Amino acid sequence: MIWAWIAGAVAVLIFAVAQSKVKICLSFVHMEQNDEIRIDFRSLFGLIRYRYIVPLLRFQGWLEGLELKSEKTNPNKGQYQGEPKHKIDFNKIKEAIDNYRVLLDNCFKFNQWFRRLLSRFHCTELNWKTSAGIGDAAETAVVVGTIWGLKTSLLGYIFRTIRLEAKPELQVMPVFNQNVFITEGICRLHIRFWHLAAAGIQLLFRILKVKGGLRAWKKVLLRT
């Protein structure tokens, strides 16, 4: 009888874990010299938490590229790990594109798998505010209109796949007679744990379906 109770408890536990949500909160801000991108992950009812922060983001020109510094923290253990500054230049971008192509070529219908995974995500909050001005009132109006167009086009493309469960709050405010660009936003997403686990298993099978696929993926992932 006791084994039946143990089996039942294990079954309930597995079901609860499978139905639990993996929550992702993405926030970003750009205000003059202050930049920060923060990504928070929570899973298993808050037992697993992870935070990734990019507190420094500087564009140093087309030749020098983008300089960034990142931090990783584990709120559960109070661990903090700072990383040295990195530069993302043309060569790094080209290498990333080449690696992506290798992964794409060594996975059976990767884009189909990725779209299916995105369709399992739910967006529960989206708030994106921008203030912009370039001095001249007429030119500022054109810039504001362009930003509105870019925002709506980008979000329209993304939410063709991701399920939107909250009305997006978008603002683009003109700042006349000033040269300024400020933007900040927050986006909250979640996905069921079992959807994520199933997607991982499906990805493995798709990689194994291509001859030499697993070896190619291991080579790229270990190199990066």
In angstroms, how far is CA 189 from the centroid of its own chain? 10
Specify the amino acid at residue 224. Answer: T
Residues 177 and 122 in one domain: yes
Tokens of 203: 């990805």
Q: Write down the residue that tokens 């708030």 correspond to.
A: 127
Count of the separate structural domains present in the chain: 2
Return the pLDDT at 29. Answer: 86
* Per-residue pLDDT at 140: 84
Can you say how many angstroms the Cα of residue 133 is from the centroid of all Cα atoms in its chain?
28
**Both tokens of residue 153?**
């086009």
Residues 58 and 120 in one domain: no
**Assigned domain for 204 exists:** yes
- Identify the pLDDT of residue 136: 79
Residues 51 and 130 in one domain: no
Helix spans in the chain (H): 2-19, 90-105, 110-118, 137-158, 193-208, 213-223
Same domain as 84, residue 115? no
- What b/e readout covers 65-74, taking b as 16+ CB neighbours within 10 angstroms? beebebeebe
Q: For residue 12, tell me if it sits in a domain.
A: no
pLDDT tens digits for the chain (224 residues)? 676 666 666 666 666 666 778 899 999 888 776 777 888 888 877 777 877 777 655 555 444 555 555 566 665 555 555 555 566 666 777 888 888 898 889 998 898 999 999 999 999 999 999 988 887 788 888 888 888 888 888 888 888 888 888 888 889 888 888 888 888 999 999 999 888 889 999 999 999 998 888 898 888 888 76
Q: Which residue among 36, 56, 88 closes a domain?
A: 88
Residue 50 belongs to some domain of the structure? yes
Question: Smallest Cα–Cα separation from 81: which of 50, 58, 105?
Answer: 50
29 and 61 assigned to the same domain:
yes
Q: Does residue 84 sit in the same domain as residue 116?
A: no
Query: Do 68 and 147 reside in the same domain of the chain?
Result: no
Residue 79 lies in domain:
19-88
